[in-house]
Amino acid sequence: YRERVHREVERYPLYERSGTEWYWEVYRGDTKRYSFLIYDAASDDSVRVRVLFRGPRCRFRVFFNDSLLGMGIPDKMGRPFTVSGIGKFRDGVNTLILSQIESTKVKLDWVELEYTRRLVAKDDMLFFTVDGTSGPVNFRVERLGDGAEVFRVAGPWDVGRMEGVELEEGVLTFGDSLSGKPVRYLVLGPSKFSRPDFVRRDVNSDLRGMGGADYVVIAHRDLLKEAEELVRWREERGMRAVAVDVEDVYDEFAWGLEDPTAIRDFLKYAYEVWNPRPSFALLFGNGHFDFRNRSGSSPPELVPPYEEGALESDLWFGCVDGEDLLPDIAVGRLPVTTPEEARTVVEKIEDYEARKERGPWQDRVILVGDDEWGGILEPNNPSFTRDTEIIARHDIPSLFNQVKIYLMEYPRDSSGEKPQAREALIREINRGAILCNYIGHGNYDVLAHEHVLRGSADVGLLENGRKLPFFFFSSCSNAHFDDPVRLSISERLLLSDKGGGIGVIASTRKTFNRGNVALNRNFYRVLFGGRDVPVGMAFVGAVGRLSPDLMHNARKFVLLGDPALRLAMPEFEVKLSAPDSIKALAELKVSGEVYRDGELAEDFNGEVLLEIFDSANMVRR
């Protein structure tokens, strides 16, 4: 039969710090050797080598045991190349050599060697494939110990023990009837049977027996206590809420395997069967793309993200009705890793919603616009500023006081940064605001090439207490939470115990400005289109309003925070009867009325804070 020996080491992410695809090593004009263990090769000496490289077109010489087999040319479309020839086999270690002719950078994914092998077991085991054969077939396998058995594998759901197996003096024989489709046979002795490493008592859960809930928290068991505290808080405010152990989700929806699909399957079941069906789902715990710890340095995963190629999408968990990519459940995530972090964030949410710190910050909105500078000396481009101005004029209600920080209006220092803009933003966040919106360039740690806000350096300077803004970053990778080693700026803002933010909507990967701004504007239209709209529902509504060509871009955005959170906006509206301007040293008498939901609040008894602003400053570019 034809034996196929596949070697693949998944060492580095194929895409920068993301995704499910990994590669082995990099070539830049190198020559490298790979060892293969080959036993009981047949006498025909034919060898077939397949190699998959990722990168531009180049050429390789392929040697087997120092003999040239031929030339291989990687396919830039991501298909393997094949080289066949005659090789001189050694019983044991054989060497394959790949020698790159050019110095073009390419990434090796895997190497595969195929040869004809006799049906002889090695260390009491043989796993072989028969393909393209029809009718009755008899097999004779040598060098097996007593008690050997045969298992037939015709597909993932077609596995069984073979009957009619005979074993005499180390030679095992059996027969089968084949249809031409590939069938694999596993022949092994008792010493090769797997045994469990440990046995642990498990208390059965009954997620399918739950009656219903508006709000579902899926938490790692180490964080369940803190998750249950948030559930208690939601229940006190009239929601039906429940916290479930993610391990129970795996047990009931993935046969105990750690699989993010189990989380969506559970939410889909709840959405279809429960009454009430869940409107909100909170993933309570951090997750990352290196769930197998291929790097050797990744922490344990608590609640896994959904990875698809280079994409991470928590929105995917909420897509439970139909085949479309429109979320039906508002999904958020608290990217916490320890009970201490979890308590910090839960306390921030509870204090925020309890309105423990009231003040003029509740009607302040910070709007930050990048200048489009990309690291080279060029005139300021106003596109990000223009997009921010459109939001300021058309999407933010007039009752909010707007604080604008446009990088075009700040000088650049010798290093290319704009420290005055950074100081202004830190100062305004520390004053407090209900919202902070940014449009521009960014990465996992910084906003703008000029570093107007740096997660690792500046979030520690934020001391705004419970005057917490909700952040929306129309930028790239600001919420790259699934990196197993680095903290994103969005995570730092949410996890800060001195202030920071109450939640963030931002992207996990590189995105495009047109789609970012469309999502950004839709979010505010939904958020301010009704009364007390939860941020998760506003996010879902914003995605649902996008045109189909912008959906892929939107899937890269994530809500880090509680999807059921309602912004601490002013409960009352004040209408003043006073001139709209005042002269220096003049006295002004001001009177007014307080309204609630458009009706005069005749029972109002409290304080009114009055702010006087400078006249408008018009900037033209």
299 and 397 both lie in a single domain: no
pLDDT of residue 542: 98
Verify that 313 and 379 share a domain, yes or no: no
What's the mean pLDDT in 121-145? 93
> Do 176 and 266 have their domain in common?
no
pLDDT in tens, 394-423: 999 998 999 999 999 999 999 889 999 999
Number of neighbouring beta carbons within 10 Å of residue 315: 24
522: domain CATH number?
3.40.50.1460
CA–CA distance, 126 with 144 (Å, rounded to integer): 9
Q: Would residue 383 count as lying in a domain?
A: yes
User: Does a structural domain hold residue 338?
Assistant: no
**pLDDT tens across 242-285, in order?**
999 999 999 999 999 999 999 999 999 999 999 999 999 999 99
* 330 burial level (CB within 10 Å; 0-12, 13-18, 19+): buried
pLDDT of residue 378: 53
How many domains in the chain? 4
Nearest 5°: CA angle at 355, between 353 and 358?
145
Instruction: Supply the DSSP string of 406-448, one letter for each residue.
Output: EGGGS---TTS--HHHHHHHHHHHHH--SEEEEES-B-SSEET
Instruction: Identify the CATH number of the domain in which residue 103 sits.
Output: 2.60.120.260
CA distance 444 to 376: 21
Residue 375 has pLDDT above 80, yes or no: no
Q: Beta strands of 356-422 (E only): which ranges?
A: 364-369, 401-406
Model confidence band, residue 380 (pLDDT cutoffs 50, 70, 90): low
Considering the domain architecture, whether residues 409 and 386 belong to the same structural domain is answered as yes
Within 13 Å of residue 503, how many CA atoms lie on the same side as its CB?
A: 28
Q: What is the DSSP string of 230-243?
A: HHHHHHHTT--EEE
pLDDT reported for residue 602: 81
Of 19-33, 124-138, 433-447, give the range with the top mean pLDDT. 433-447
List, in sequence order, the alpha helices (H) in 87-245. Answer: 224-236
Q: Are residues 477 and 445 in the same domain?
A: yes
Percentage of residues of the chain with pLDDT beyond 70: 97
Length of the chain: 621
Is the pLDDT reported for residue 377 higher than 50? no
- Cα atoms in the 13 Å half-sphere on the side-chain side of 405: 25
Whether residues 186 and 239 share a domain: the answer is: no
CA distance 373 to 154: 59
| pLDDT grade for 621, boundaries at 50, 70 and 90 | low
Task: Note whether 266 and 402 are same-domain residues.
Answer: no
Question: Dihedral (C-alpha) 557, 260, 316, 295: value to the nearest 10 degrees?
Answer: 30
Q: What is the pTM of this model?
A: 0.87
Band of residue 293 on the pLDDT scale cut at 50, 70, 90? confident
pLDDT value at residue 13: 85
95 and 133 inside one domain: no
The mean predicted confidence, pLDDT, of the chain is: 92
Is 75 within a domain? yes
H, E, C per residue of 523-567: HHHHHCCCCCCCHHHHHHHHHHCCCHHHHHHHCCEEEECCCCCCC
**Residue listed under structure tokens 């559970």:** 266
For residue 564, what are the CA distances in angstroms to 40, 215, 237, 256, 484? 64, 8, 11, 29, 27
Q: How do residues 551-563 score in pLDDT, each as one tens digit?
A: 999 999 999 999 9
Instruction: Determine contact, residues 202/228, Cβ cutoff 8 Å.
Output: no
Residue 427 lies inside a defined structural domain of this protein: yes
**Is 619 part of any domain?**
no
Q: If pLDDT is split at 50, 70 and 90, which confidence band does 579 have?
A: confident
AA identity, residue 308: E
- Hey, CA dihedral for 346, 348, 353, 356, is it positive or negative? positive
**Is residue 612, in this structure, part of any structural domain at all?**
no
Q: Would you state the pLDDT for residue 620?
A: 60
Kindly report the number of other CB atoms within 10 A of residue 152's CB atom.
16
Structure confidence at residue 251 (pLDDT): 95
Is the pLDDT score of 499 beyond 90?
Answer: yes
Whether 605 maps to a domain, the answer reads: no
Cα 138 → chain centroid: 50
Q: How far apart are CA 208 and CA 215, in angstroms?
A: 16
Classify residue 617: in a domain, yes or no: no
Based on the domain organization, do 133 and 110 belong to the same domain?
Answer: no
pLDDT in tens, 14-38: 877 777 788 899 999 999 999 999 9
> 572: closest CA among 603, 606, 597?
597
Token duo for residue 509: 């990967």
Q: Is 530 found in the same domain as 491?
A: yes
Half-sphere exposure of 362 (CA within 13 A, CB side): 18
Out of 192, 215, 231, pick the residue that ends a domain. 192
Residue 28: count of CB within 10 angstroms of its CB:
10
Domain range for residue 172?
125-192
Give the pLDDT of residue 616. 67
- Pair (303, 436) in one structural domain: no
Domain C-terminal end among 331, 348, 375: 331
Please report which confidence band the pLDDT of residue 133 belongs to, taking 50, 70 and 90 as the band edges. confident
- Per-residue model confidence (pLDDT) at position 614: 74
Q: Rounded to 5 degrees, what are φ and ψ at 23?
A: -130, 170
Average pLDDT over residues 117-126: 94
pLDDT score at 618: 63
Same domain, 61 and 98: yes
Share of the chain above pLDDT 90, in %: 73
Domain end residue (candidates: 544, 560, 576): 560
pLDDT 10s digits, 191-232: 888 889 999 888 888 899 898 999 999 999 999 999 999 999
140's tokens = 């004779």
